[in-house]
Structure 1
Amino acid sequence: MRHDQQLMPGESWQTSRTTMTMQTDGNLVVYDKDTWGVWSSVTSGHDGAYRYFGTDGAVSVVYHGTTLWPRRRRSRTRP
């Protein structure tokens, strides 16, 4: 895919070895050639979420303007 593109619910992107599918429930899943799920964003429950491929190469799952994946983690500082 080119940068600055979206993968909308129900759409897939394929290579010869894997398929990336933006499921309609909001979960982004990568399947191997035998259709086994090998990775998931764990973002189901957000119908209408889409996958965005930014100009910087970053991939994210977005729902109503909020990034669901990757989740931001708080940094811990030492006292």
Structure 2
Amino acid sequence: MYDTDGSRLWATGTDNRAGARRGAPLWSGTSLHAGNAVAAAYDSTVVLTQQADGNPVLADAGRALWSAGTWGHPGAYLFVQSDGNVVVYDDTARPLWSTRTWGHQGAYLVVQTDGDLVLYDADGVVPLWASGTHV
């Protein structure tokens, strides 16, 4: 189901785009706040967690694979913007980190089961940014 501006409001979870088959997607317009986490799959040990200190961390079985390096900013959150840029904002909406991938309407972030965090274009074909942490 989509809003009038084309943003996704709800999905069945049966999306067949390439990125969605690899793990758990964070769709355009999704935010991850302190204490929230997304696992690559229901039985996966690969998890992206927004820590209370403001740092999003990708880990496998508790071992850190990647982080944005934004610790020291309690209240910060990760946001997948509709323009294709993923940004960590502090609690006053000041950007702390980004993928610098604006200009890609509908791009989405995937926590992959292989341990990589990847931002795909709207079609799920072209990777725009990746953490480079596949295990």
> Unaligned stretches of 5+ in structure 1?
73-79
How many percent of aligned residue pairs carry the same amino acid?
A: 35
Asked whether the equivalents of residues 116 and 130 of structure 2 are also in contact (C-alpha less than 8 Å), the reply is no
Q: Is 1:26 equivalent to 2:80 in the alignment?
A: no
The count of residues paired between Structure 1 and Structure 2 equals: 70
Displacement after TM superposition at 1:56 (Å) = 2.6
Cα RMSD, aligned residues only: 2.1
More off after superposition, 5-14 vs 62-71: 62-71
Q: Is 1:41 equivalent to 2:99 in the alignment?
A: yes
Residue 28 of structure 2 aligns with an amino acid whose one-letter code is: P
More strand by share: 1
2:119 maps to 61
- Per-residue CA deviation, residues 39-61 of structure 1 (Å, 9 max, x unaligned), is 11011100010001111331111
More off after superposition, 62-71 vs 15-24: 62-71
TM-score (norm 1): 0.76
